[in-house]
Amino acid sequence: MLEESAKAAWEYGRQFLMDGKVADYIPELGKANPVYLGLCIKTTDGKTVEYGDVEQRFTMQSISKVVSLSVALQHVGFDKVFSKVMMEPSGDAFNSILKLDTASSRPYNPLINAGAIEVVSLLAPQFSFEQILDFTKELCMDDEITLNESVYHSEERTGDRNRSIAYLLKSKDVLEGDPLAACDLYFRLCSMNVNARSLAGMGLVLANGGVSPATGERLLSAQVVRTVKTLMFTCGMYDGSGEFAVEVGLPAKSGVGGGIMSCVENQMGIGTYGPSLDEKGNSIGGGNTLKYLSRALHLHMFDSEND
């Protein structure tokens, strides 16, 4: 059943690849091959189901916002983090400056650029990039995650909008420490090289309430995981979050590198990779794969028994 649905979902998703296009605002990302599509599902009872390009590496991009938020909530604490960033969907583009200068000096949520840069600035004094990378490996159950140097340098070269955001946060006394240092760590985190399998691993830990099914070790507290999944549900898919919630009904976080990391409560983690993006910046193949899967297996959070 799971295997069949997964295969059908992957085949369904592939049909949309030509309708999207690869991100090119960071030149290095423009080199990705739009025909890739990988799907990996890892279940809490130990099964792994995979189709397509699941070993292909790509950079986490915005999915790393889930990592940095998780680490910050776990180690810096809820009170500090949410005194610096709100929990509200913003209704604006991921890289918007607008609300920051009109509605609230705190970024709307930790999954837009402004919020993530703020969160990363809270990590910078306590954690090196290598330490967060190590934690990411654990979370993804993948020892081979590395820094993609060429994407990192491409981010650096084209990161002026993020630097502008960081300085604006600094000018409002929201960001502490050096704005450029926060940006540098942020660029590195965006440039971690994962694959669909790593993302399925990370989704699995979230599905499992923060405990690694591999080792039985608790990596994140239940409260951190609940918070992160809620924010993924309301804000994880850029300005397409509301529609994704209605259509698919699962917590998910996408990155412009082409990845989507998702999870189903107590059941499974899901990772997809497809660098062809829709106009909202979400993987068009991955998003449609998840949509099919959600319907086929009745995974929508608001599917009733009476359906």
* Residues of the shown chain interacting with a second copy in the complex, contacts defined by CB under 8 A: 86-92, 96-99, 101-103, 108-109, 160-161, 163-168, 170-171, 179, 207-211, 222, 225-227, 229-231, 233-235, 239-243, 245-246, 249, 251, 265-266, 300-307
Q: Which is nearer to a second copy, 18 or 246 (CB)?
A: 246
Minimum Å gap between C-beta 263 and a second copy is 9
What single-letter DSSP state applies at residue 29? Answer: G
- Can you count the helices (H) and strands (E) in the chain? 13, 10
**Residue 154 annotated among the catalytic residues of the structure:** no
Minimum Å gap between C-beta 92 and a second copy is 6
Amino acid at 289: T
Q: Which is nearer to a second copy, 140 or 224 (CB)?
A: 224
Q: Which is nearer to a second copy, 55 or 178 (CB)?
A: 178
What is the longest distance spanned by two Cα atoms in the chain? 55
Which one of 36, 51, 108, 186 is the catalytic residue?
186
Which one of 62, 64, 191, 198 is the catalytic residue?
62
Minimum Å gap between C-beta 195 and a second copy is 25
**Residue 256 annotated among the catalytic residues of the structure:** yes
Which one of 22, 174, 256, 264 is the catalytic residue?
256
Minimum Å gap between C-beta 237 and a second copy is 10
Give backbone dihedrals phi and psi of 199, rounded to 5 degrees, phi first: -70, -35
Q: Which residues pair with 253 in a beta bridge?
A: 261
Q: Which is nearer to a second copy, 3 or 217 (CB)?
A: 217
Which one of 238, 273, 276, 283 is the catalytic residue?
238
Nearest 10 degrees: Cα torsion 123, 129, 134, 135: 20
* Residue 2 token pair: 């799971």
Q: Which is nearer to a second copy, 52 or 203 (CB)?
A: 203
**Residue 12 annotated among the catalytic residues of the structure:** no
Q: Are 67 and 114 in contact (CB under 8 A)?
A: no
SS3 labels along 117-166: HHHHHHHCCCCCHHHHHHHHHHHHCCCCCEECHHHHHHHHHCCHHHHHHH
100, 93, 31, 106: which is closest to 62 by C-alpha? 93
> What are the strands of the beta sheet with 58-59, ordered from one edge?
58-59, 192-194, 146-147
Q: Which is nearer to a second copy, 192 or 299 (CB)?
A: 299
Distance of alpha carbon 230 from its chain centroid, rounded?
13
Q: Are 249 and 291 in contact (CB under 8 A)?
A: no
Which one of 65, 84, 229, 291 is the catalytic residue?
65
Minimum Å gap between C-beta 82 and a second copy is 9
Neighbours of 197 (CB within 10 A): 23
**Residue 22 annotated among the catalytic residues of the structure:** no
Minimum Å gap between C-beta 133 and a second copy is 25
Distance of alpha carbon 29 from its chain centroid, rounded?
16
Query: Residue 39 in 3-state DSSP?
Result: strand
**Residue 65 annotated among the catalytic residues of the structure:** yes
Question: Which residues does the annotation mark as catalytic?
Answer: 62, 65, 186, 238, 256
